[in-house]
Amino acid sequence: MTDGYLAFLLARDGEADLLRHTLSRREAFFDRLVREPVRSRWAVDRETFLRNLARRRPEPGLDDRMLWLLATAKANQAERFGVGLSELYGKVNPDDPILVRIVLQEHYHTRILADALAIFGLPVHARPPALAARVIVKLLVGTPERWNRPLAGCAEMAGCVLFRALRDRGVELFADEPEVAARIRLLYDEILGDEIGHVGYLAAVLGPAGRAVMRGLYRALGLRLAGQLPELVALFGR
C-alpha cells in the first residue's frame, strides 16, 4: 500500500523541496488562487476577530460567522506546532519521500487556511495550541514512530471530522455568496484530501491490531480533541 500511496502523492503534489517547504503542484494550485481572487462582500468586524483571536475562549454572543472564522484561524494550530517541533528536533527524515510530503502538506494547510481568511480580508497569527494538544503533540514527537502511530492516526481521524465540519458549515454560512462558498469548499477539500490520505496510510502500516488501537483511541479522545477548540464547540453547540 505504501508504494501505491507514494505514487498517489507524486501524482497529486509533484516534486518536493523540503528546504523551501514547497511541492511543485501545490505551488501551481496557489498560483491559480492568486490569478482568480475571491473576496466576500460581508463587512466583517475586524476588531472583534482580532480581539478573540488572541483569547483562549471566545467572547459570549458571537455569531456563527465570526465563530467559523475564529475556528478556521485556529484549526491548524496543533498540526503547525507538531510540524515545527518535528523539524526542530530533526525528526523529518529527508530520505523518506512519504514523510517529507506529509510534512510539507501540513505546511500548506496553514497557507490554505490563511487563504480562507483572506477572502474576508483577515490575517492569521501563529499561536500555540491549547495545553492538552501541546502534550499530545510533544508525545508524538518525542516517542519512536512505531509507538506513536496509533495516536497519530487518532489525531488524523479527528482532523478529518474537524475539517469536514468546518467546510460544510462555511459553505452553509456563506451560501448567499456563491463564489465565496465555492472557494471555501475548494480550500477545505484540498486539506481533506490530505487528511484522508494520512489516515489511510497510517491504517495500512499499523496492521489489524494497530488499527484497532487507533480506532479505540479515537472513540476515547476524539471529542476531547475537538473540545480543545472552544470556538468549534460554540459553533456546533456541543
What's the CA dihedral at 180, 185, 188, 190 to 10 degrees? -120
Structural domain total, the chain: 1
Query: Domain of 218?
Result: 2-236
Stretch among 56-65, 80-89, 211-220 having the lowest mean pLDDT: 80-89
CB 12 within 8 A of CB 25: yes
Q: pTM for this structure?
A: 0.91
Work out the mean pLDDT of the chain and round it to a whole number: 90
pLDDT at 74 over 80: yes
CB 121 within 8 A of CB 94: no
Nearest one of 133, 157, 158, 139 to 206, comparing CA atoms: 157
pLDDT recorded at residue 146? 77
pLDDT at 87 over 90: no
